[in-house]
């Protein structure tokens, strides 16, 4: 049984109102986001598909993956996309004490700055698994971070759903200003290779553009 929301309920967005769930925009803009990279081949595939539509996106990167895939990381930046912090080792906030969790965020922040010539200090943050303690969030917000969540979850990480269901999760729930979650990871590879090109085409045909979060 699915244990997550495809479309984030309004009451959750209202209760956690200090987090960013979607963005107020005047034009037909959508904000595609990609978690857990950079990953060999998968991130390169994502970048190639985005380029076909002149689409910009936001990549929430894991610090240890940046070190392993620094060339791909810098390609993300050179092609005009935004970078976000996804902790150093993909920590789950509910299961991690505050000191260790915040240290992991800071380590990732330093990696982002040290391994790129164009990103000095990324203050976009997405908690792995979408799970973060209120005390952890308070510390990050106090230190200038924007905690970016989502209102549409593709489900590309879920082996129990089909490629087509992943696609429909996005197409049926995305609206103007939506923040949509994909994963440029090995686990999500099959579904993202199926869904992403079709999402870009279908939503472009409806007049939407794709922007990065700033």
- The catalytic residues are 35, 183
Q: Which two tokens stand for residue 44?
A: 């390169």
Which residue is listed with tokens 């010539």?
117
- For residue 88, the Cα-to-chain-centroid distance in whole angstroms is 15
Among residues 184, 73, 68, 88, the alpha carbon closest in space to that of 119 is found at 73
Distances (CA, A) of 5 to 100, 150, 154: 28, 10, 10
Strands (E), 79-204: 82-85, 124-125, 146-147, 152-153, 179-183
Q: Does an H or E element contain 35, and which?
A: strand 29-35
List phi, psi (to 5°) of 40: -50, 135
- Cα 86 from Cα 44, distance rounded (Å): 19
Angle at which helices 163-173 and 189-205 cross, to 10°: 40
């Amino acid at each position: 049984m699915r244990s997550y929301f495809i479309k984030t309920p309004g009451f959750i967005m209202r209760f956690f109102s200090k987090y960013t769930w979607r963005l107020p925009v005047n034009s037909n803009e959508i904000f595609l986001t990609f978690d857990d990279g950079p990953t060999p081949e998968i991130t390169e595939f994502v970048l190639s598909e985005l380029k076909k539509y002149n689409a910009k996106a936001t990549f929430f990167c894991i610090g240890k993956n940046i070190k392993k895939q620094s060339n791909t990381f810098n390609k993300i930046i050179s092609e005009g996309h935004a970078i976000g912090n996804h902790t150093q080792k993909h920590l789950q906030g509910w299961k991690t004490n505050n000191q260790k969790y915040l240290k992991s965020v800071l380590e990732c922040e330093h990696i982002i700055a040290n391994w790129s010539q164009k990103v000095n200090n990324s203050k976009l943050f997405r908690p792995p698994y979408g799970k973060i303690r209120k005390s952890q969030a308070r510390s990050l917000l106090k230190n200038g971070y924007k905690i970016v969540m989502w209102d549409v979850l593709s489900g590309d990480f879920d082996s129990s759903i089909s490629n087509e269901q992943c696609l429909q999760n996005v197409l049926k729930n995305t609206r103007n200003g939506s923040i949509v979650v994909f994963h440029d990871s090995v686990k999500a590879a099959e579904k993202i290779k199926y869904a992403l090109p079709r999402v870009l085409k279908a939503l472009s045909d409806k007049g939407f553009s794709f922007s990065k979060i700033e």
